[in-house]
Every structure is written in C-alpha cells, then in structure tokens.
Amino acid sequence: MTLSQPPVQVTQDPPLGDEELQAMHAYWRACNYLAAGMIYLRANPLLREPLQADHFKRRLLGHWGSDPGQSFTLVHLNRLIRQRDLNVMFISGPGHGAPATLAHAYLEGRYSEIYPDRAQDEAGMQRFFRLFSFPGGIGSHCTPETPGSIHEGGELGYSLSHGYGAVFDNPDLVAAVMVGDGEAETGPLATSWHSNKFLNPVRDGAVLPILHLNGYKIANPTILARIPREELEALLTGYGHRPYFVEGDEPQAMHRAMAATMDRCFDEIAAIQRRAREEGNLERPRWPMIVLRSPKGWTGPRMVDGHRVEGYWRAHQVPVADPATNPANLKVVETWLRGYRPEELFDEKGAPMPFLRALAPEGDRRISANPHANGGLLCKALDMPDFRDYAVQVKAPAATYLSPTAVLGTFLRDVMARNMNNFRLFGPDETASNKLTAVYEVSPKTWMAETLPVDEDGGELAHDGRVMEMLSEHTLEGWLEGYVLTGRHGFFATYEAFVHVIDSMFNQHAKWLEKAKLELSWRAPIPSLNLLITSLVWRQDHNGFTHQDPGFLDVVCNKSPEVVRVYLPPDANCLLSVADHCLRTRDYVNVIVADKQPHLQYLDLDSAIKHCTKGIGIWEWASTDHGSEPDVVIACAGDVATMEALAAVQILKERCEGLKIRFVNVVDLFRLMPDTDHPHGLSDRDFDSLFTTDKPVIFNFHSYATLVHKLTYRRRNHENIHVHGYQEKGSINTPFELAMVNQIDRFHLAIDAIDRVPALQSRGAHVKEWLRDQIIVHMDHAHAEGIDREDIRDWTWSA
Amino acid sequence: MTLSQPPVQVTQDPPLGDEELQAMHAYWRACNYLAAGMIYLRANPLLREPLQADHFKRRLLGHWGSDPGQSFTLVHLNRLIRQRDLNVMFISGPGHGAPATLAHAYLEGRYSEIYPDRAQDEAGMQRFFRLFSFPGGIGSHCTPETPGSIHEGGELGYSLSHGYGAVFDNPDLVAAVMVGDGEAETGPLATSWHSNKFLNPVRDGAVLPILHLNGYKIANPTILARIPREELEALLTGYGHRPYFVEGDEPQAMHRAMAATMDRCFDEIAAIQRRAREEGNLERPRWPMIVLRSPKGWTGPRMVDGHRVEGYWRAHQVPVADPATNPANLKVVETWLRGYRPEELFDEKGAPMPFLRALAPEGDRRISANPHANGGLLCKALDMPDFRDYAVQVKAPAATYLSPTAVLGTFLRDVMARNMNNFRLFGPDETASNKLTAVYEVSPKTWMAETLPVDEDGGELAHDGRVMEMLSEHTLEGWLEGYVLTGRHGFFATYEAFVHVIDSMFNQHAKWLEKAKLELSWRAPIPSLNLLITSLVWRQDHNGFTHQDPGFLDVVCNKSPEVVRVYLPPDANCLLSVADHCLRTRDYVNVIVADKQPHLQYLDLDSAIKHCTKGIGIWEWASTDHGSEPDVVIACAGDVATMEALAAVQILKERCEGLKIRFVNVVDLFRLMPDTDHPHGLSDRDFDSLFTTDKPVIFNFHSYATLVHKLTYRRRNHENIHVHGYQEKGSINTPFELAMVNQIDRFHLAIDAIDRVPALQSRGAHVKEWLRDQIIVHMDHAHAEGIDREDIRDWTWSA
C-alpha cells in the first residue's frame, strides 16, 4: 500500500447521460419534496391548491439539515445498484436524518408494503406527512420502524462500526455508511475508522464511508469542516482510506461528480475484492471513501428573516418557523416546495411517476427492503456442540478450583469451529487475559494491519481470524450490534468495570430490541447480544479500585423485562449451561457474570443443568434444615459471594449446633422479581416457599446490595432480607481482604446470621466473639508487612 | 498553517554533551532499576548480596512494559525543566505505567516527603519495593496516592483531554501527555486529539503529546504501530499536529535524538506562544508532538525461556515469571538488574547519588511536586454574584411557566463574568438547545479552527470564548476533570439520556475523589464537578425513545456517599439555590436534574431557599392535612413529576372531599437515605414524621421507580411507599401522553391514592371511574388522527 497517489477530485468524463441525470435529479427533487412535506404539511400534500395556513402542521418538528445530502447519496447509490446489481445497505449516521431515508423507502414502495395506510397515493402521502413527528407517529431518527435500517442514530457515533459489523462474513454486501460530520466528533466514531484493519476483502463485504461535510451541528460548525482541506485529507488518509471529494452546491455539476466518484469507488471496491479473492493478494487495501461537502439544508431557503439558512446551522431543524402566521414566510415555503415541481413527480393519484419508479432497484435490491437490514430473516441457528461434553467433573462440591471462563473457552472454541461464517468472539485485547484462549485453537484474531516475524511466537494473528480484538469497547460493541442485527451470532467478553464504557450503547440496543420485538411483527427475531462480564470486582488483586465496579447490572435492570436477562452462574458447569442457553436465544441482551480466576466448583453437570434451568434453588447439600422451616436462609448470587456464603454456613454448622439453615443460590437474577413484573419472575408463592415469609435472609450478592432490594422490595419477607454486597471500598487487596472490607466474607455473614436469629441471641454471643477475632486476625494478617498475599484458595467445603 | 513542511526526524547536532548524556543515562538506569525492583524485590533492594530466591516477592505483580519509555521521557523533560525553568506536568496515559512515575517521584525526593516511611535509604527503598502491588500498598496505576499525578490511567482514554483541561487558563503550564498506543485505540482518546482546536495560545498553556509507540497492548500489537510510517504521519498531521519521531533502541542515540527533539518541540511551543502573545497572531498553530517508538520492556531481558520478551507483548507485565524457582531465570533477572549498576546510582545509605539529585528540578518545579497536580492548593473560590438577584417572581404557585435552565443561564452568565480565568461552561453542541444562551452575553464559544463570514450571524465563536462545545461528551468530561483537578471551576450541561456516554468516566472520577478526600490528607480539596442533566426524559416531544433514559442516577447512587450528591430542583428558584450551593462546594460530583422546557413555577425565592436548604419538605399550600396525621402522603421529585403530583392533589381535593393529603417534595435525593448510610440522610425519626409510619405514600419520581425503593427500603413505612416512575415506555409522544403511558400522570396517581386509602375504598369508586374515563379520553385524544399535539400547558394550580 502506498500513499504516493494523492487523493483525487474526480473529474473524468461524465458517466451520466443528460437524460439519466435529469431523471435522477427528479428523483432527488421527489425525495426533498417528501422530506420537506413531512416537516410542514398536514393537508394539501401535493400542493394542488395554493398553500394556506391551515395546511401546515400546528407544531413544526423535524430536521431538514442533513436530508438533501443523504437523499442525494441514496439516489446515486440506487443508480449503481441497478447498473451493477449490487447488494447495498445504507446506514444513516447523521442525527435526525430520517426524512431522507423515509422518503426513499416511500418512493421505493417498501414503506407502503409495510404500512399500507401510507400508500403511494394522495391520501397515503397525507397520512405519511401527518404521522411524521406526530405523537405516536414516525420518529425523526431511523427508528426500528424504518424499513431498511439497522441503525437508529438517536445517539451518535456508531454508524461506521455498525456498518462493519453488518458486512463481516457477508462478502457480497456493501454497507454505504453516511457519517455525519457532527457524529464524527464523537469518540466512538473517531476510532471506528480503524475498523478497516479488521476487514478481510475475501471473506467480508465492503464498507463505503461517505463523510457528509455539511458543515454544522445543532448550533456550531463542525471541526472537520473547519480544518484545511489538506489536513482533512491527511486525517482520512491516516485512517487508511483513499478519500474522494465531491464538493459544491450546483446540482447538475454535483450529480456528475457524484456519479463519477461512485463509479470509481465501486470500481475500486470490485478491484480490491478481485485482487484478494482471485489473486490471493491480502495486503490491506486502501479502501475508497467519499467526502461529500454540500450545504446544510441544500436546496432549502437560503435566507429567512434576514438570516442565512441554507448552508448554515439554522437549517438544522425547521428552516422557516412561522409560515402559518407569517404570510411572507408562507410564500417562502411555498416557493421552496413548488420549486421541486411535485406535479412532474407524482401522478394524478399521487403515486410516483413511472420514470421515477424505474430508477429504484427492485425487490430485495431496494435499500429499504434489503433483507440484511431485517437480519432475523436470514438468521441461521448456530450448529451447537453438546455443552455437556465440556463439563468438569465435580465429585464433591467445593473441593476443586477451576477457571470457569477457561472451561467456557473450550465450549466456545467448538461453537466457533462449527460456525465458521456465522459466529465471532469479541473482546478488547483481553481474550487471553479472560482465559478464553482455547478459541485460538480453531481461529486466531483478525488482523489486516502489518505483521512481523515475531508474531509467529504466540501472536495468534491472521487475516481470516474470527476473534475480534481492538482496544475499544465502543467499536467492538458496535461491530457486534451490526453483526447480530444482520442475523449472525456473537459473544463479547469484557472486564466488568469497563463494560460501563458501553452503558449507553447497551441502552440504545435494548431500546431497539424492545420496539422491534414488541411492536414490529415484520421484523424477524435476531440473535441475542451476549455479554460476558468477567475479571470481576472481587478478584482485582493488583488492578485495584478503578477495576472494581459491578454496577452495570443496575443499568441493565432498568431496561424492559422483555429484552434483558442477567445470569450469575456460580461455577463452570453452570456457566456452560447458561452460555448454551444464551447462544440459542433471540431478541435479548444476555448478561453473564463469570470470573476468569480459579474458583471452587460446586455442581456436577446434571445438578448444574437442573439448577440453571430453574434459575434459583435450594442447595440441599449445603442446607441443614432438611426440608423443614429453617431458622435462617443464607442466599447468594455470584461466584465469590457463593463461596463466602458456603463458608459462613460451614462456620455456623460447626459452631451453632442445631441451627436450621437453608442455602439458596440465584443464577437467573430476575427470578427475584415478581412474575407480574418480569417473565422470569417467581410467583409470590414460590418466592415465599424459598425465602420464607418471616425468617431472616442473609443474602450475599456479587454487586451493589441495593440491587437485590430493588428487585425484591415487593416480597412479603422483604424487610427480613439483609443484603451484603460491594460497598465501593477497595484498593489493591487480596481477594479475601476485599471481601472483608465490604463485609461479604464468611465472618461478617455469620455474625449477621447470628444477630438475626432470635434463638441465637444469647448462645451465639461467644461465637460472635470468635468471629470478630477472626476478622481482626485476618485483617492484621493481610496488613502485616512482609507477609505475602493471603489467597482464598486455602478453603474447601467440609461435607 | 501549512502542511507543506514534512514531518521531520530530528537529526541536528546533538545538544547533549557527553557528560550530561551519561548522567542522564544514569538517571534513567536508576528509574529502570527502581521500576524493576518494585516488581521483583522484597529484600536485598540494592543487590548488595547475590540475588537469592527469598529476595523475591512471593507473588510477582506489576507492569514493566511501558515503564522504561515513560522514564526515558521523564528524564528528558527534567532536563528541559531545569534548563528553561519550565512549569511542566506529566500525564501518564499508558495503563499500568506507575512504576515509571513512582520511580521519578522517589528520585525527586517528593515521594519520601509525603511518605516518610519510604525514605531515600536502603530501608525506605525496601519498603517502597515491598509495598508496590502488595495488598493495601501502592497501585500499579498512577492512583491518587501518586504525587504529581491527576490521572489514574486505570481506565484508558482520557490522558489527552485531562492534559488539555489542566492547561486551559494556565498560560505558563505545559502538560506533557504520554499517550499509550493501546490507549490511542479507544474512542475517547481518538477524538481528543481535536482538543487542539480549542486551545488558545495566549490564554492557555500548551500540551505536548508524546505518543508512545511501544508496539503492544496486553497480548496484541497496537494498530498505530502496525500501519506504515507515512500513514501514521498523515493521521497525526490530520489531527493538527507536527509529529517528530524518535525511534530506536540504542540508548545513546536515543538520548541524543530525544534531547534534540525535546529542544525543538519546546522551541516551537515558545515560538507559538510568542507569536500569539506578542504579535497577536492567533491563527491556529500546528502544535508539535513526539512519536517515541521504543521497544516494549526496553532494556529488559530480550529472550526468556526461548520466547521473545523485550520488544514484544510478553514484556507487558512481569518479564520473567519464575526467578525464585528457576535458577536459570534467577540469573536472568540478576544479570538484568545488575546491568543498571545500582552501586553507581545509590550511595552507601541507599540514597540517590548527588549527581543524580542534581539532574532533578527543585521544589515545585519537580514534576512530582507540581502544585497544579494538587489543584486544591491553587484553588481560588469563585467570585459569586448573589443568586437571589436572578430569582423569578412567583406570586402564586403553579401559575406561570418558565424555562428553569434559561433562568440558570442568567446566573451562570454572571458567574462567568466575574471569573473570566477560573470558570468555564461545557456542553456538547447543546448550550443553546439547553437554553443557557445568556452566557454568550459575556463569553462566546472557544473556537480556534477556521471561521467564515457567516459566523458573524449568530455563530458565537471566538478565540477567547469560555463556553466549551464539541460533540464529544468524553472530551468535555475529560477537559472538565482536568480543569477541576487543577483547581478551577466548571459546569457541564448535557442531555439526560446521553450522560450515560460518560458513566464510566464519572465512576472513575468519583473513585479518585473518594480516595483523595478520605485517605490523602496532603491532597487539598478541589472544586466539585457539576453536572447539569437536562433535556429530560419527560419532554422528548420529538426525539423519542432513544432520548428517554433517566438512569444515570442509579449509576451515581452506587458511588461513595462521601463524594456524590443528586439534586432535583422542581422549579427555577430552586435550581438557582441548588446551583449556587454546588458551585461553592469541594470534592463532590454534584448532579443537578433540571429541564430546559417551560415548566410551572412553584416557590418564591425565600421558600425556595428554605426548601432547598432542607432538601426535602412539606408544601403546606398544597397539603390538606393542616398539620394533622394525613390519610395519604403524595410525594414527588423532579419537575414534571411534581406538576403531575400537584394536579393529582387538586383532583383529590375536588373529588374526595375531606381527604387529608400531605404533599412532600424532594430536592436532595439522598435525604431519602438513612442518616447512618449517607451524610445527607434523614434520621428515621424525621423520615417517619414526614412520611408517617403507616399511611400510604404515593411517590411520583423523575427517574426509574426502583431507585426510590433502593434508597428507602430500610424505612419503617417502606412497604406503604408506592413509587411511580419511568417504565421504559415511550415513543415520540406529547409530554402528557408520555406521562400517562408510564403512569406518572395525575389520573394514575389519583387512582393509586384512592386505592391505598382505606376510607376511600367505597366512596372513591365513582371517582376512580371518572379518572379511568379521563385516561381513556386523553389517550384517545392524543392518538386521534389530525389532532395536534396536546401540550401540558393547559393546566395551572387552582389555589
């Protein structure tokens, strides 16, 4: 690859005949007309009467600014799709660009197929206009309701990573990704340009980024529009692209330039793919991209009330605010809209003229109907190995230590092996750290950047690797979202504390899922997004306080019960059972909390399956109530929490003879909620039968204690539930010390149990004294200088 | 500015004399020796005996990889500081680079000043080594315990934005920011390069980025180290810098190259500042930067057990894992450590030799003692206008509509005016959208990129603007953190849903504050970080579902009660009172939730001050219990929640005569917690006297309902507290419709109240029927086609 060839402004002979150009221009006029109509009109949708005040919506809402540039791009993409029979998705990155996408979907007929009440006639158009930005109606981003879209754009920054996710393992697909120049300022977008180091031109499709330099955000110029041209070229070249500039505002010239540039870009893409696929040349190519510098609000009113609108930030939303009450401005709007000459574009009934229809691709080639944008349609179930084959032998509970994620790694390895074009593993430079290394036996990491001889020594890099590692949780999450939204399967493993980096992306994906699942029957279910949260708070032996944050679960629990699931498998066999389940589900975000460090194993395979299927249950072998009403319930969720709870039971068994303890472990966190609030919730009856209606419950929890209260506050016995969890206290600690300062350790649990059981109030006193001594001894031990780290591995369950 | 001058590998005549070079090299050897010692040794710290197995720590923890490159840079910075009497901070971006920074702080004597038990002698050094990565000891990032640091680095991506934040309004300061090439892959770092478009060379100091291309992350090569040199140059040039490359591994040559490059960079910085300050040339300069390409684990063992270590990812943590049990590897470590010739570096007592001490700057010029890195020392209180002067007149409650943030804007304007080098306002392209436009009357937005004539028409851009707008919440938050950590004041306003973008940054800042405040008496208190959360969930009239997420409060409430505060002022006067308070505080993150849309006003100034001072209180004028025990408590927190709760009271007053209602409003959310758990918590007695011990409480909450349960679950009357809040249901809705689908509207509240009051069970039946009708009517109304948005503004309180 060389940079020596400078970026080019394409000025070749026009590939567009005049007739085709005029037709395309008409198509664009139709798009712009529809976009403006959506913002303004509640009646007279085809302007068959003179425009009057009461034709306007009473509240004008919507975003005009980026629509014409996006429509312009779509018109030109359509030309290429038809001419070359291309398989193209469009991703609309600029915020609030929906009118452009909606107009295209409507002109392509796809919109009316899905929403027959918005047919291609005058009444349909009127309804289409009215519903836009109307309560309960059509949103001004590309919401899930938008056919042909996998990308909302309500929150900015993820267009490119979604585009890459969509084309991974889709060699025939091209994602044309319109990147807003506002969006381009976000961190996630800024680093996602580097996705091109992970795109393999043999196996994957192509992404064509189109940076839309329309110059302004809501009320500011954009940075990329206000740096020298050569600096922008350098930046995009530095990102690994070959940028082509299409700049101007005169439509005819712009059509010619865009057509020539699109031809060139798709030629280059084809050449890159041919070189890679036929000649085996896998040197990282310099993928083409387009910089479209066009005025914000292009073709809209230039000046309104003495202020500049077209080509300025004032074109961001509604260019003319008061046409219904200001006759002069009514005229401005009418002149503007009539300038598109709707009478040439729509027939008597209000349907697009045949010559326009002829410009749109047909069937599934329509961007608005591309099946990849409704990925569930194309989704193939994973070919799953039997997870039972990966089980670890557990002859006695709490007798052996194993890394749960290392075991999971062997299972994921074979999931990978059986689904080599349908499944990928994602992680930020941590797959090895997270002990999932077994997957490398079947597939190394994708790497299209340079390699060195030293990489042979454990680098695990390959052009066709299927493990995706980049030090950007944002990019990984974006890739994975794009991958599952187009119907494929994936698994993302990340450090617990830093999953907060993608809180907001998780929120947005959950919102998309909720709408798609509950309200849009035409959207087929897609594979769940599986998040493995590992390197957990309780084992941050040397990473310290910054790495201790188990609060992602609070974010997750705020989302719709229809689309989120949280699992805390206590050991490796449970993790296998949970992972197998999650990989088979659709339309969820599954969050699995499991550590990478060696932990005690409790359940043999059959018990694990039974336990995980129920999601919550009594561990009889650890209980002493023998089925009778217990004196106290010791409950737990999470690996270290479970170990400490068991150790507390052991202490109580030994030192408080006759105490009837029931031991409950929770895998599926939402079992704690009432069944009226969550599909996985337990009925009150079942909850009461597990947790009693009046006995003390000492609950040892992996995360912040309040989350358990949040889930159980409606339960009859709630006031007796005493939760121990992370208290935001920590440093570089031994695991056991960290447990103690946050009081989730065996001693504090045992003290709490004794305090809560009336029968132990007196006879427990000396036990408590002993327990307090233990705490002092252990903390002293931990702090004593020169004594090495006390580990937790000196403890096993004595049956 | 021109790009024509190509980036330069500096090869001028060496500015270093041989003697100085050798001394500096010795200093670097001392750093590297100390860094390696921290990782390995528990005894024999000066290698005065042959190294033996029991001299090693039993568990080897720590990160060697980036230390030598960072130390190398620090040695060279020290040369410049001494030679030119510079004021330099160092920000260590690469993860886990603390040994380098710690070694420098120790050699400069600063470390021992703060921690006298780690003196500059053999015993002190031994203790220093032992405590590193030892439980309860010294962390392997630059934790708050590290003198001279404002940047943890536990979570990656914020080094550059912290550096810029530090130098804003500090014209004499230079922040040398070491950017890790792993860190450089994160989104936040990738976009923060553009910070140079917001740095004014007259008023601000300078940032010198040093991109450390050491080539590897934990287990992967870095992207920037594996793209062609010319592509990297293009990228950095595109970011607006002039990159200088220092590349190699031969120490003597590298010292000469680094010295020459540093000279050149500081010359250029001086020239830029002179040009701007003396000649008034404010064209955006092309700031210099350094690319340091040095081997990972430089000077460490090259091969261990047949595997490449130096210059490969295996040098990331502990280069030799088993010296205590593997005699051959013990030899490897001994040879390595002795190669630094500690006997030449430390005197008999173990103190650094005088010739080394002479190389370090003195007093506050030492990087480890730079007062800007302990910003509280330099902090000046804001010169505050009297917030009472901005009060709005409220003659009757709930009679007038006003935008609370617009009122706040006038107050912030004058805060700004009085503190023109000590206060900034931050917001992602939304200051105007969030109605804080009054600030522009005293200061426009900072903008060093290009301007156009059209900007005169409402662009509000200026080189010396003090409103910081960039479409990156990450960068803004990073700037603000850097600004407050160096002792200045700021205010960050952002859309509620998208504050989740910086969840993780908030977490990390809160953790830093907790440590600094509770454990480090030498760190002076710093100004609080003030976050205004606006464009709230309940008024997303056209932005829809993606913009509806009030869950940031759940993230906040998980952090230490010592450092977080949450306020939900119900109207403009309360917002003024709260904002005034927050701007005066130290060492908190203050989260203020207040909307930008017009809302009803309730309290006159005096009442607002009293109410906010208490943080929670009964609104007598809205209550009907006249001081007696009520039948029901209607409580609320948040603007729309308060309005709907008041409307519910009005309905109940009118239709359930004689019902005794107590109306409670909550401003300070943590008043709900017990005083035993939070410094702002109410005692149980006070809580009970407000909320009763047995009467139904209908609580209308701004955010997700479960948060109130989380805060109140220990209260006596908790089982009678019924919370209404956002249920994750929404679309583009009218505000009133959105309230109804989430059941925080007046009708649902009134129904709930009737259901909970025993006395109303029978006589309330017809009222409930009427209320249910109202719900149907209003929802029909909202959905009816062609009917325009029903707003909430048709309602006022009838006293």
Could you state, in order of their start, the residue ranges of all structural domains in chain B? 18-370, 387-599, 616-794
Instruction: Output A187 or A154, whichever has higher pLDDT.
Output: A187
Picking from B136, B187, B235, the nearest residue to A782 by CB comes out as B136
State the DSSP H helix or E strand holding residue A774, giving kind and residue range, or none if neither.
helix A765-783
Task: Report the residue of chain B nearest A709, measured CA to CA.
Answer: B710
**pLDDT higher than 60, residue A42:** yes
CATH superfamily of B387-599: Thiamin diphosphate (ThDP)-binding fold, Pyr/PP domains (3.40.50.970)
* pLDDT score of A41: 97
**Preferred mutation among B472, B742, B780 to probe A, highest tally of A CBs within 10 A:** B472
DSSP secondary structure, B347-383, as one string = -TTSPBPHHHHTTS--GGGSGGG-GGGGGGGT-----
Check B475 against A728: CB less than 8 A apart.
no
pLDDT band at A13 (very low <50, low <70, confident <90, very high): low
CB proximity B395 to A under 8 Å: no
**pLDDT of the residue at A579:** 98
* Residues in a beta bridge with A698: A634, A722
More confident residue, A88 or B733: A88
- Give the tokens for residue A375: 């990925």
Residue A191: list chain B partners with CB under 8 A: 185-187, 189-191
CB atoms A542 and B737 under 8 Å: no
pLDDT of residue A541: 72
pLDDT digits (tens, 9 = 90+) for A585-639: 999 999 999 999 999 999 999 999 999 999 999 999 999 999 899 999 999 999 9
Interface mutation vs chain B, best among A191, A517, A722, most B CBs within 10 Å: A191
Q: Which residue has tokens 């040397």? A: A542
Note the pLDDT tens digit of each residue in A523-559. 999 999 999 999 999 988 778 999 999 999 999 999 9
- Residue A782 pLDDT class (50, 70, 90 cuts): low
pLDDT at A4: 45
Quote the CA–CA distance of B380 and B584 in Å, as a whole number: 11
| Closest chain B CA to residue A559 | B728
Q: What is the signed CA dihedral for A216, A220, A223, A227, rounded to 10 degrees?
A: 80
CA A714 to chain centre: 31
pLDDT of res. A783:
62
Phi, psi of A178, deg, nearest 5: -85, 115
**CA B452 to chain CA centroid, nearest Å:** 33
Rounded to the nearest angstrom, the gap between the alpha carbon of residue A351 and the centroid of all alpha carbons in its chain is 38
B498–A155 C-beta distance less than 8 A: yes
Q: Cβ of A728 and B545 within 8 Å? A: no
Query: What is the tally of helices (H) and strands (E) in chain A?
Result: 24, 22
| Burial annotation B713-729 (CB, 10 A radius, 16+ → b, else e) | bebbbbebbbbbbbebb
Count of CB pairs separated by less than 8 Å, A with B: 393
Q: What percent of chain A has pLDDT over 90?
A: 90
Closest in B232, B558, B786 to A238, CB measured: B232
Tell me what ipTM this predicted complex has. 0.96
pLDDT beneath 70: ranges in chain B: 1-14, 782-799
Is pLDDT of A786 > 50? Answer: no
Q: With beta carbons less than 8 A apart as the criterion, state whether B733 and A61 touch.
A: no
- Do domains B387-599 and B616-794 share one topology? The answer is yes
B202 and B171 Cβ atoms separated by less than 8 Å:
yes
On the CB side of A495, CA atoms within 13 Å amount to: 24
Distance from CA of B86 to the nearest CA of A (A): 31
**For B500, which of A503, A543, A789 is closest by C-beta distance?**
A503
N-to-C CA span, chain B = 66
- Chain B residues in contact with A57 by the CB 8 A cut-off are 788
Q: Looking at chain A, which residue has its C-alpha nearest residue B238?
A: A235
* Cα of A342 to nearest chain B Cα, Å: 23
What count of other Cβ atoms lies within 10 Å of the Cβ of residue B620?
12
Q: At what angle do helices B18-40 and B122-131 cross, to 10 degrees?
A: 60
Q: Does A161 touch chain B (CB under 8 A)?
A: no
- Give the model's pLDDT for residue A162: 98
Give the residue from A592, A563, A598 showing the smallest Cα distance to A576: A592
- What does the pLDDT read at residue B780? 77
> Per CATH, which fold does A18-370 belong to?
Rossmann fold (3.40.50)
Interchain CB distance below 8 Å, A135 and B307:
no
Tens digit of each residue's pLDDT (9 = 90 or more) over A719-734: 999 999 999 999 888 8
Q: Considering CB atoms only, which of B191, B311, B314 is closest to A186?
A: B191
Question: Which residue in the set B135, B188, B312 is minimally distant from A732, CB to CB?
Answer: B135
| d(C-alpha B641, C-alpha B647), whole Å | 10
Q: Output the CATH code of domain A616-794.
A: 3.40.50.920
Q: What are the helix (H) ranges across A144-280?
A: 159-167, 187-192, 229-238, 251-279
**Longest CA span, chain B:** 98
Q: Considering only the beta carbons, identify the residue of A230, A504, A733 that sits closest to B498.
A: A504
pLDDT of residue A543: 85
| Nearest partner of B89 among B215, B211, B205, B231, judged by Cα | B205
pLDDT of A135 = 83
8 Å CB contact between A224 and A233? no
Rounded distance between C-alpha atoms, residue A360 and residue A81, angstroms: 9
Taking the whole predicted model, whether its pTM rises above 0.90 is answered as yes
Q: Is B472 in Cβ contact with A187 (below 8 Å)?
A: yes
Q: How far is CA A719 from CA B701, B707, B717, in A?
A: 22, 17, 11
Interface contact B188-A187, CB threshold 8 A: yes
Work out the minimum CA distance from B737 to partner chain A, whole angstroms. Answer: 8
The pLDDT-based confidence of A780 (bands split at 50, 70, 90) is: confident
Question: Which residues in chain A have Cβ-Cβ distances shorter than 8 Å to B503?
Answer: 500-501, 503-504, 555
For chain A, say whether B779 makes contact (Cβ under 8 Å): no
Does the distance separating the beta carbons of A1 and B228 come in below 8 Å? yes
Chain B residues inside the 8 Å CB shell of A538? none
CB neighbour class for A762 (10 Å; exposed up to 12, middle 13-18, buried from 19): exposed
Note whether A498 contacts B155, CB cutoff 8 Å.
yes
Q: Which two tokens stand for residue A480?
A: 């994975």
Closest residue in chain A to residue B55, using alpha carbons only: A786
Of residues A285 and A153, more confidence is placed in A285
B503 with A504: Cβ contact below 8 A: yes
